Amino acid sequence: MSETDKAVKDLIKSEYKHGFVTEIESETFEPGLNESVIRRLSAKKKEPEWMLDWRLKAYKIWQEMQEPEWAHVNFPKIDYNEISYYSAPKSKEDGPKSLDEVDPELLKTYEKLGIPLHERARLAGVAVDAVFDSVSVTTTFKDKLTEAGVIFCPISEAVHKHPELIKKYLGTVVPQKDNFYAALNSAVFSDGSFVYIPKGVRCPLELSTYFRINEANTGQFERTLIVAEEGSHVSYLEGCTAPMRDENQLHAAVVELVTLDNAEIKYSTVQNWYPGDAEGKGGIYNFVTKRAACIGKNSKVSWTQVETGSAITWKYPSCVLRGEGSVGEFYSVALTNNLQQADTGTKMIHLGKNTKSTIIAKGISAGKSDSSYRGLVRFGPGAENARNYTQCDSLLIGDKCGAHTFPYIESKNNSAVIEHEATTSKVSDDQLFLCQQRGIDAEHAVSMIVNGFCKEVFKELPMEFAVEATKLLEVSLEGSVG
C-alpha cells in the first residue's frame, strides 16, 4: 500500500478550502454574559418589551441549568463569559435597501462561497436570506415570495412586523427550558430566519439561508422558526461554511418547525464548518437543537443533513408526531475525519395514531475521529398502528477511529411496529482492489464507495445540495485513505 500511503500523505496536507476571513468592520459587544448584556442586545434590536422579558426568563432558566455531559464527545469546558454575544456588520443607518448597497466585501465572501445572488440566484431559483454573523443583511426574491403570501424574513424583523405569529409559535416546539443550549440560545439569540407559509400555498422557491460565522470569538446563536399552515409546502435549505480560525467557536442554534394539517416541511442542511486542523486545533462547536412539531393531521417533516464539518457536532433533529397520520423522516450522513467528533441522531416521538417515521443514518469515521449515532424512538400509548423503521450504518476508514450507536427504543403500544437495524463495517479490501484493478486510484475508489454508501441519503437532498454534498464528502475524506 506504499502508493496509497504517499497519496494519503499528500492529501493530509491539503487544507480547508473555505478557510478565509473577510475583513469588514464590525460592532461587537465585549465578551461576557449577564442581564445587562441581554438588555443591551434587545435594545440594539429595538425589540418590544415582551421579547426582552422572554429572553430574560430564558436567561434565568439557563443560570439554573447544568451543562450536559452525557454525549460521547470530549472538549474543554466552555467559559460562557469569554464569548461575545453580539456582532453585527456596521450598519449604514438603516441597512442596505438593495444589493448595490451591500458591502462589496460581503458580496465577495458570498461569491467565494458560491451563493447564487443576482442572476445566478434567479437561475438557480433560490432566495437567499444571507446571515452574515448575526444580522440578516439582504433578502432576495422578496417580491416573488410576497406575491405567494410567503413570509421569509429575518426573525428580528418578524418580531416587529408579525408579533402575533412570533408570540404564538416561538418557543412552542423548543421551550426555553428544553436544554442548556436551547436556554442559552433563547436568552441571547442574535438573528435567524422566520418563514411562514399560508394556508394552501406551495412555496414557489426553495428557501435558502447561508450561515457564516465570521467574527472570531463570536458565538452564533441563530434562531429559525418555520410555520407551515394547513396544506402548505416548503423546502428549506441551510448550508454552512466558516473561515479558518484558531479558537473554538460555539454555535448553539435552535430550529423550530411547525406543521399543521396536511402541511409539509423539507429541511435540508449541508454543514461544512471549520473542523479544526489535523491536530484538532480550532474548529467549531456545533450544539444545535432542532425540532419539529407535526401538530396537524397527515403533516410531514423531513430532515436531511450532511454533516462533514465542525470539531464537534452534537445535534438531534427531532419530530414530535402529534397529528394523526403525521410522518417524520430523518436522513443523515455524518462524516468525521482527523480529530472531529460527532454525536448526532434523531428523536421520533410518536404520539398520534397511524404516525410513521423513517430514520436512515450513515456515519463515516476516518482518521482519529469518533462518530456516534444516538437516537430515540418513542411510541406513546396513543400511537396506535404507528410505524418506525430505523437503519443506522457505520463505515470505518482507518484503525484509529471509532463508530458507535446508542439507540433508545421505547414502546408503550402493542399495535405499533418498530424495526431497527445497525451495521458497522469497513471499506472492504475486495471492493478497493476491484476498483484499483480497473484503474481507479485508491482515493477515488474510497470516495466512490463512500458515495455509494450514502446514496440513500443523497437522493433525498435537493438537486444543488446533492452535488455539493458529493463534493464535500470528497474534500472531507481527503487524506483518510490507507
Partner 1 sequence: MSSLNTLPFARRSETLPSSLSALQSATRDTLSALNMPDRRHEDWKYSAKKIGDLSTFDKALDGRASDISRPYNIDKKNALSIRLENGAIATSLDNLTLPEGLILKRFTHLNEEEIGRVIEAVGSESKKREFEQINLSSFDDGLYIEASRNSKIEQMLILEIVHNKGGVSLPRIFVNIRDNAELTVIEEFHCTSSDTALCISHSDYLVAQNSQLNSLRMNLGFAEHKLIASSRAQLKRDARFNSDALCLGAQLGRHDLRVLLQEPGAECDLNGIVVTQANQHFDNHTCIEHIAPHCTSNENYRCIADGKSQIVFNGRIHIVPDAQKTLGTMNNNNLILSPTAEIDSKPELEIYADDVKCAHGTTIGQLDEEEIYYLKTRGLTDEQARQMLTLGFVLKVVRNAKVDEIADFWETILSNLLSFQD
Residue ranges that bind partner 1, judged by CB under 8 A: 70, 379, 381, 394, 396-426
Report d(CA 107, CA 121) in Å as an integer.
13
CB atoms within 10 A of CB 257: 30
The minimum distance between CB 331 and partner 1, in angstroms, equals 20
Which of residues 271 and 344 has its CB atom nearest to partner 1 in the complex?
Answer: 344
Which of residues 16 and 316 has its CB atom nearest to partner 1 in the complex?
Answer: 316
CB atoms within 10 A of CB 157: 15
The minimum distance between CB 124 and partner 1, in angstroms, equals 39
226 SS3 class: strand
Which of residues 258 and 432 has its CB atom nearest to partner 1 in the complex?
Answer: 432
The minimum distance between CB 60 and partner 1, in angstroms, equals 23
Which of residues 161 and 400 has its CB atom nearest to partner 1 in the complex?
Answer: 400
341 SS3 class: strand
Report whether 384 contacts 413 (CB < 8 A): yes
Q: What angle do the packed helices 49-63 and 180-188 form, to 10 degrees?
A: 150
Which of residues 381 and 452 has its CB atom nearest to partner 1 in the complex?
Answer: 381
Report whether 410 contacts 379 (CB < 8 A): yes
The minimum distance between CB 240 and partner 1, in angstroms, equals 28
Beta bridge partners of 318: 291, 347
Report whether 28 contacts 84 (CB < 8 A): yes
The minimum distance between CB 394 and partner 1, in angstroms, equals 7
Which of residues 89 and 367 has its CB atom nearest to partner 1 in the complex?
Answer: 367
The minimum distance between CB 72 and partner 1, in angstroms, equals 8
Beta bridge partners of 332: 305, 361
What amino acid is encoded at 256 in this protein? E
Report d(CA 180, CA 187) in Å as an integer.
11
CA 56, 58, 60: angle at the middle one, nearest 5? 70
The minimum distance between CB 387 and partner 1, in angstroms, equals 9
Which of residues 79 and 429 has its CB atom nearest to partner 1 in the complex?
Answer: 429
